[in-house]
Amino acid sequence: MNTLTIILLILTIGAAFTYFINAVNHKLTAISAFVTITIATGYFFGLAELGDQFKFALGDFSMQWGLNAFSYYFIYIVLGLSWLALLYSIAYMEGKARLGYYYGAFLLTIAGMFGVVISQDFISLFIFWEIMTWASFLLVIYNYYYNIKTEGMKYMIFSAIGAYAMLTAIVFIHHYYGTFLIGEALSKGAFSFNQHIFIPIFLLLGFGIKAAVMPFHVWAPGAYAKTPMSFTAVFSGALSKMGIFGIALVFSTYYITHNAGGFIASQILAWMGGITAVMGTIYALIQTDAKRLLAYSSVAQLGYIVVGLSTGTKLGIMAALYLAVLHAAFKGALFMVAGAVEKQAGTTDMTKISGLIKRMPWTFLVALISIITLAGVPPLGGFVGKWLIYEALITESNNYFLAIVIFFSSTAAFLYSYRFLFGLFLGQEEEETKDVKEAPVTMLIPMLMLSFVSIITGVMPGLVFNPAAKAMNALGFADTNWDMTSLSNIWGNTTDLSLIGIFIIIVFILGFAVLTLKGRKKTKSVGTKDISSSGELWKEGENWTFQQDFFKPFQRAAAPLYKFDMDKIWSDMGNALEAFFGFFRKVYTGNGQTYAIYVIAFLAILLIFKDYIFN
């Protein structure tokens, strides 16, 4: 049997098996899930080859699954991140209830994502997309004990709107172009904006909702924050990339042909991405819960990626794809950090805990590296991504204003990155967190591995450029030239990142050595309290750490931006609809005679107008 089918079978059967084995023995559930994903990942990276294809017929339709470089690129994210997240889950989910349900749905989501990426015909794409959606829905409502109406249903409704828009587009692609195969549709110009414009628009709607693009992002903060953190790592890291996968696919016609019809769409998409980036960042600033902060930050980062995709140039796409992998790595790590803090300290509310650096040093290290990557500071990987985006926006598209918007957003990203770090790890140590222990090893290893990815891509970005370039080839671009360790711009200047990395490390080591050796006699070890208070004396119980209203001045300055509450708009629409429905159902009055009158009245109407209805 084909490798791809086998992997899917492993994942689905593993999901079912895990679900049932929970009834037998709780401890086996996590192990069985982890073993399943290990087998699947190992099988894939060992045996699957580029160009694998699997064609079969299902109910009058011919379906096709295959592996091209574009899919392969995303599978790194899907399988890699999932493997790490499941390793992390073993310790994170220990002792919680309904483990079989959790792991079963997790594995099904992974199967769905895998299926989406390998689908080469629209029907399979839709089928796996839906499986992925409802499996992740099951996980979103996992933590809920009371208030299901909001987050879970919001997620499902928005996903469904997107998915059904996609379905409409798929049905009409079949009607106008006579095929369900993605490749064929692409070559026949199905995604072109010049004819049947609603087809690419609906497809973009479907993919965009999954990628949390404004104004449809309202499900994301709640869903990301309320799901168990081990799943959110995959949710925000990999699932949202499925939307990116789709947008890149749909837009590829525009990329290659650059026809005028798509220009407006690309501008709109670029601005939507830009607004998402800004609004996400702004809302992240005012959060007090670390999880929600990360959730909004995810939305903002996805905005960057969408902006990159919409430029339509080789550099832009490369930037977007690079950022996609990197976002999976650092956001996955950050959500894992938040989960570790939640598990060890009991809460992630930044107003309640702080000063964990002493207690959870390794977690802090991961958080630090990820934050640096997020903010885009060299020598870590995020720098490369940001650099590519800026270059794409400034040199290749004439969208200077958008570049300014993105710049504003990434600068503000510094603010909330620091907030996250400070809020959880730095600052004055609280009474409640005195006994917090470091996270267990099985949770640390995935976090550290993801940080390693951030580090290594900073020095050798070519490791990501290579598969990304191959993916772009598969989309139809000509070869891009890249270098393993250096970045170059159109004017021919090169920056050798490995040199930078080595340089920074040498400076760091030298500086550390000099300072410790020089002040050996004058330095002594102090507690965090002394560091925060810079030597001033304070009384017990007094809190000198600034945790509430952290960015109040900024909030006041940006007040008009905060008035734009998309969430409220959608809620109002939902309530209006419900009231409208409540009115409609009064048709069934419950009085038998009224029903009889309906029948007779309808009969009379039909008899009177019969010539107009039936002719």
Task: List residues binding another protein (CB under 8 A).
Answer: 57-60, 101, 123, 126-128, 130-131, 134, 137, 141-142, 144-146, 148-149, 152-153, 156-157, 160-161, 164, 167-168, 171-172, 174-175, 198, 578, 581-582, 584-600, 602-603, 606-607, 610-611, 613-615
Closest CA to 482 of 494, 474, 498, 491: 494
Q: Are 92 and 230 in contact (CB under 8 A)?
A: yes
The strand pairing partners of 289, in sequence order, are: 349
Contacts of residue 57, Cβ cutoff 8 Å, sequence gap at least 6: 63
Q: Smallest distance, Å, CB 173 to another protein?
A: 9
Q: Are 276 and 300 in contact (CB under 8 A)?
A: yes
Q: Smallest distance, Å, CB 599 to another protein?
A: 5
Q: Smallest distance, Å, CB 306 to another protein?
A: 24
Q: Smallest distance, Å, CB 596 to another protein?
A: 6
**Exposed / middle / buried, residue 46 (Cβ in 10 Å: 0-12, 13-18, 19+):** exposed
Cβ-based neighbour number of residue 368 at 10 Å: 16
Query: How far is it, in rounded angstroms, from Cα 448 to Cα 454?
Result: 10
The strand pairing partners of 61, in sequence order, are: 58
Tokens of 335: 């959500």
CA–CA distances in Å: residue 29 to residues 17, 228, 231, 336: 9, 17, 16, 20
Q: Smallest distance, Å, CB 165 to another protein?
A: 8
Contacts of residue 419, Cβ cutoff 8 Å, sequence gap at least 6: 285, 293, 350, 550, 551
Q: What angle do CA 589, 592, 594 make, to 5 degrees?
A: 60
Place of tokens 């309320």: 226
Q: Smallest distance, Å, CB 315 to another protein?
A: 37
Nearer to another protein, 544 or 595 (CB): 595
Nearer to another protein, 434 or 610 (CB): 610
Alpha-carbon 615 to chain mean position: 56
Nearer to another protein, 137 or 425 (CB): 137
Nearer to another protein, 400 or 602 (CB): 602
Nearer to another protein, 153 or 463 (CB): 153
Nearer to another protein, 113 or 444 (CB): 113
Nearer to another protein, 118 or 393 (CB): 118
Q: Smallest distance, Å, CB 28 to another protein?
A: 18
Q: Smallest distance, Å, CB 247 to another protein?
A: 21
Alpha-carbon 281 to chain mean position: 15
Nearer to another protein, 95 or 590 (CB): 590
User: Within 211-313, where are the H helices?
Assistant: 219-226, 229-234, 240-257, 260-285, 290-311
Q: Smallest distance, Å, CB 156 to another protein?
A: 6
Q: Smallest distance, Å, CB 218 to another protein?
A: 16
Contacts of residue 583, Cβ cutoff 8 Å, sequence gap at least 6: none
Nearer to another protein, 525 or 591 (CB): 591
Query: How far is it, in rounded angstroms, from Cα 443 to Cα 180?
Result: 43
Torsion of CA 303, 305, 308, 309, to 10 degrees: -100
Nearer to another protein, 546 or 595 (CB): 595
